[in-house]
A and B are shown apart, each in its own frame.
Chain A
Amino acid sequence: MQKDEQPPAKQPAEITLDQTESVYEKPVIATNCVHEAVIPPGWVPPAQTQTNTEPAKTFPFKLDEFQEAAVRCVDKGESVLVSAHTSAGKTVVALYAIATALRANQKVIYTSPIKALSNQKYRELSEHFDSVGLMTGDVTLNETAKCLVMTTEILRNMLYKGSEVTREVAWVIFDEIHYMRDYERGVVWEETIISLPKNCRFVFLSATIPNAKEFAEWICSIHNQPCHVVSTDYRPVPLQHYLFPVGGKGLHLVVDEHGVFRENSFSQAMQTMKTSNAQQGSGTTRKMNTSEKEDIYKIIKLVMSLNFNPCIVFCFSKKEVENIATTLGKKGIIADNEDRMKAVNSIFDRAISTIPEADRNIPQINNLRPFLVRGIGVHHSGLIPVLKEIVELLFQEGLIEVLVATETFAMGLNMPAKTVIFSGIRKFDGKEYRYINGGEYIQMSGRAGRRGLDERGIVIVVGDERISSKEMQDMMKGSSDPLLSQFHLSFNMILNTLRIEAASPSFIISHSFLQFQTTKKIPQLENELLELEKTHSALPQPSRAVDRFHNILCVHNSLAKSLHKVTNAPITSLPFLQTGRVVRIASDAQEWGYGIVVSFMKRNIRRSDDEPSYVVDCLVAVQKGTENSTPRPVPSVASWTYTPITPACPLPAPTKNVNKHTVFIVVPVKLAAIRVITSIRFQLPPDLNPETARQAVGESLLKVNETFNGVLPELSLEDLGIDDEEVKGIRMRMETLEKELKKDTESITMKDIVKCEEWKKGKAEIETQKSLIEDMKEGILKRELNGMIEILSRFAMLEPIEKVVTAKGQTVCAVNSINEVLAAQLLYTGYFSNLTEPQIVAILSVLLVQERGDDMVEVRKDLVEPIKVLQEEARKIIEVAKHCGIETENMIGVNLSVLEAAYLWTQGADFKTICQTSEAFEGSIIRVLRRVDELLMELSEAAQVMGSEAMIKKFASCSQKIKRGIVFVASLYI
């Protein structure tokens, strides 16, 4: 503490702490606790049957205000949502609720979103209570205990099965409920909450969320019981946020412990960054270059010298974690310490002894030990589970000074450090690189500051020069994200509710948080509708003639579009796109006029179901000054506008004074953007690189254009070699319509048409808005539900007329891990009958890998055929789904990255060998194999329903073969 207040004198010369006056002020701890309650209309609080004046549990410390408030709600026997930072001490409320339930001889369930957290919680709760059980997919311990820790998914499955436990549980505690935004987990939560009995009470623990009250309203509305909200943004240890500019020299305090953003300090930091970049002379790359690693090293050195350790360094990729740890290890940043070495070694050895000897000698274990001994820890999901737990234990014991971790470490048990460092502020979220948002920042920075040990927590952010002051503020001080429902339908839910007389999928849907939030949105949408109608009524209604003209035009355009589809098909058009061919180019937004084909090429196909696409390089005229901007391929046509009156204006550049304002360059154009292929071909000079050459060709093009009065002769259908009556018919109809249109071209101007279009568009918008509101009022997800029921019917899992679950549907009610329809198809087509155990495990692994991975894996011979069959089945399902109007993306994910590893492991290979066959991290391989085992259990249950002895045996033998060694070592927490 003393050291905090006195800046150490011997600072390294190159690093200076940006000292600002407030750093050393005594922090003011404010406990701003808000307590609200949502009470159903007409609620009469039940008469207190027994007045328990005694608290159910006492704590050796004085409760904070928000804890006190939440505990009072539990005492009253009412549900409560506690929204506070991780470090604030929400667990107290959970403990109190457990004690309350146990005292009343009631069961209590504690759910957490992931298995690893359940293990940790089991350990923690066991220290407080006698009768604690654990149920995750991997382990079941003491399942008759009064307090059960389980994953949300297990609870949901129990509810669907109507397990006895659900009749005895009076309190359910949901931890980390803010992860309800997660696409996969959120829906499990909602289904669970909806299915729980009405008189069950809840404790929701959440990080700070702005719409906590909305959530409480939902609970109140579906369970007809009061729900309290206790929220606070109180931090027992206040935080100081520093910015470390990339390549810079010192730390800049940007947000102090009062939450004040210091603009000065920020711009100063940005300034250093700019100058240092200028010195280096090159823009930054996202890649971790040496200078960035150097930065982290510098910061950690500074942190160590200021005694701001222990610290956690958050990175956004596993690779980066490893890189940074390696650098730190090499540089020997922490002084060796005999005691630590001994302690770490003894813990490490004891933990490792749970792993069978044969598997102990793998690189990950061997590599990690020297780091840990030096006080450097690594934590990410690629680690094998035991190592992850060792690191957690060592960290809690205070034996780790620097922990390099990914975002996952910010979840779960409170494991704080004095300092948190962000190695960057951008992360890849599956779609794009983006700045981390306020919620994520809060969660991770919440690891800074140990209660009772530190006066304040330090957060250091390595910033890049692209971030603006506002973005920085949004991140550091921004509020957390609101809880938005991610509710969606699953086959499993539909099957499980349809087979029960008293339940139905529409009940679940209508009670979902999504429906609740949607209903709340309706008034706003109705206002929008009024607004739309108002603006629309101001528009002049088009005259009848114009309306007619526009209608004909629309028909013509749609015909033109379908004709274009034929003439534009690669097989037809490519032979004519020789070098020198003149074509007309247009995107949906712009008319590019005539251009000359230079060459074309086939683009790489990214997904197998994509049509191959072609890009044609064309010489076109563009506006002067824009020629140096990166040429983007002209996109394909979305809407099709026909301009019958004026001949096509040639360029995005002005038509007149061509020479002055235009230059000719070669631009890549998507094949679909080529509207017309003319019968004219130019002789191009061999080299188009010199500008003069291009200009010369361009000018002759303009000349030709002039000669033909702006409309160059098109290649006719015959020329293109199309001899299809239907296509000819389209062409004929278009000609008739064009004649019709020509009659009116004089009286109707382009302006009229634009106005007419606007009017019609507005009308259409109103219609869509109206039907949207109607749909919302009627209930969400109707179409999706019908589509999915249709899919199930087509695969004979539902009886086609009554929609009763058939024997086939019953079979897969127990399957959760993979697409249920696929599972049913595989089981019913005897897919597994002729496969050996290694083949089965390998194939199942393909369906269970969650990470992204490249598909370029060499597949061993005896797996080629099974994979083909699997893909064929998947394709069939996707086809049917498309037909039923269901979104098919991510419906069935296939990833071959651990295929070989799973195969060999089942054959009995040791872990070291199988790791060498895969690019995947060791931890990922273990995770997949565990998931395979879970799936095997589900499939075996399905086989039991089918009555197929052979398959039951086969799945059991698969399970037996993979359940060995390091892959199934029990958690250290248990």
Chain B
Amino acid sequence: MSETIALPGEIIDETGDFVNGHGTRQTSRGIVSTILGTASLQNKFLSVKPLRTNYQGEVGDVVVGRVVEIVQHQWKIDVHSKLFAGIKLGAINLPGNELRIKDATDELNMRGFLQEGDLISAEVQKVHADGSLALHSRNLLYGRLENGILVKVASSLIVRTKQHFFTFSFGVKSIFGLNGYIWLSPSSDIDINQQLREDYAGASFIPRTSNVLSDSSALPFSPFERGTRLAMARLRNILLLMNSEWEPISPQVVEELFNFSHKQKLEVIDLLNDQIGHKLLTDFRAYRLSNAAST
């Protein structure tokens, strides 16, 4: 597979030997790129992947999103794509893992599970023809997110890896949503959510027990240690730095950079300084290169 940068309107093939896909158009002069991005050739298939873009999902992707509205039997979720993604009432598991057809009462109680402003993690179930996404919560890994920080980065920076749920060695766990939303939370209360959900026997979203219509969160907010809080703050700043420096983001690299910044004796706040940040990343790249060379 070979990759080059393509500009909008640039003719990327004149031979006519290739098949064109996303981000391209077949014209009389050949295949033309319609966007700014990396043109990639696989076998004879030519497509252009945009550099900066709204999130374009693929089936099976892990995403983090925010509930923006509730329409008839589905929640609309902002996942930073062109259109709001939807998660259907039918696509969540009920408390007690009850298997049944959802009825009008369930529809009325939808706010009991999720309401506007809630953050969730979910999996892309389907990509509709118009590019909008249908989400679902396949198992206990997914659910409502509370007690943590959301960091937004460019979706194209998130590296596709096997595991997007990652627990760092320094007491922070994370969800690297492929849509560029990254969720950080202390790994100490790893089980508040999980435990509760298990109590509710497999429900995707724990119903707000107090009052389904009140907007007060029923989940206890659990304070956590200063160390963890600092680690989370550092992590957040590192992610923002990586975003501004256009560095591909994967849990492993993030962890390395985290430790590297520690070694450089940088304070959390320093990381937000453009110059310091730039230098840190330049050094980090050099450090990685030398590391790779030595192994």
Contact = CB atoms under 8 A, between A and B. Distances in A.
Contacts of B26: 950
A241 interface: no
A161 B125 contact: yes
Interface string A151-162: 000000000011
B269 to A, nearest CB: 34
Interface string B212-246: 00000000000000000000000000000000000
Given A500-B138, A828-B45, A946-B45, A164 B88 contact: yes
A272 interface: no
A75 to B, nearest CB: 17
B280 interface: no
B97 A805 contact: no
A163 B91 CA distance: 8
Interface stretch (B77-85, B157-165, B271-279): B157-165
A951 B24 CA distance: 14
B44 A829 contact: yes
B101 interface: yes
B90 A167 contact: yes
A209 B99 CA distance: 31
A499 B60 contact: yes
Interface string A918-949: 00000000000000000000000000111110
Contacts of B20: 948, 950
A163 B160 CA distance: 24
B55 interface: no
Contacts of B101: 105-107, 146, 168
Contact of B138 (A106, A502, A829): A502
A839 to B, nearest CB: 16
Given A107-B101, A169-B99, A947-B23, A162 B125 contact: yes
A946 B21 contact: yes
Interface string A500-530: 1110000000000000000000000000000
A808 B42 contact: yes
A178 B125 CA distance: 32
Contact of A830 (B22, B44, B125): B44
Interface in A478-517: 499-502
A804 B160 contact: yes
A495 to B, nearest CB: 10
B204 to A, nearest CB: 9
A729 to B, nearest CB: 40
Contacts, number: 120
A908 interface: no
A162 B45 contact: no
Interface magnitude class on chain B: 35 or more
Contact of B42 (A104, A162, A796): A796
A455 interface: no
A805 B124 CA distance: 15
Interface in A818-847: 825, 827-830, 833
Interface string A97-113: 00000001111000000
Interface string B145-184: 0000000000000001111110000000000000000000
B125 A501 contact: no
Given A830-B19, A946-B22, A802 B162 contact: yes
A828 B42 contact: yes
A210 interface: no
Given A167-B93, A830-B17, A946-B47, A199 B99 contact: yes
A805 B43 contact: no
A948 B88 CA distance: 29
B103 A105 contact: yes
B161 A500 contact: no
Nearest to B97: A199
Contacts of B163: 501
A161 to B, nearest CB: 7
Interface string A784-807: 000000000000100100111101
Contacts of B100: 104-107, 168, 170
Nearest to B24: A947
Contacts of A146: 101
A810 interface: yes
A804 B160 CA distance: 7
A197 interface: yes
B99 A200 contact: yes
B99 A802 contact: no
A517 to B, nearest CB: 27
B126 interface: yes
Contacts of A805: 60
A833 B162 contact: no
Contacts of A796: 1, 42-43
Nearest to A803: B162
B62 interface: yes
A830 B90 CA distance: 39
A805 B58 CA distance: 11
B233 to A, nearest CB: 27
A315 interface: no
Nearest to A813: B59
Nearest to B17: A830
B74 to A, nearest CB: 11
Interface in A110-167: 146, 161-164, 167
B293 interface: no
Contacts of A808: 42, 45
Best-surrounded residue of A502, A803, A808, A810 (most CB of chain B within 10 A): A502
For the complex of A and B, 10 pairs with smallest distance between CB atoms: A947-B22, A164-B90, A499-B60, A828-B43, A830-B19, A947-B21, A170-B99, A828-B45, A946-B21, A830-B44
Interface of A: 104-107, 146, 161-164, 167-170, 197-200, 499-502, 796, 799, 802-805, 807-808, 810, 813, 825, 827-830, 833, 944-948, 950-951
Given A164-B90, A168-B99, A501-B123, 6 more contacts: A106-B99, A167-B99, A168-B101, A198-B97, A807-B42, A950-B26
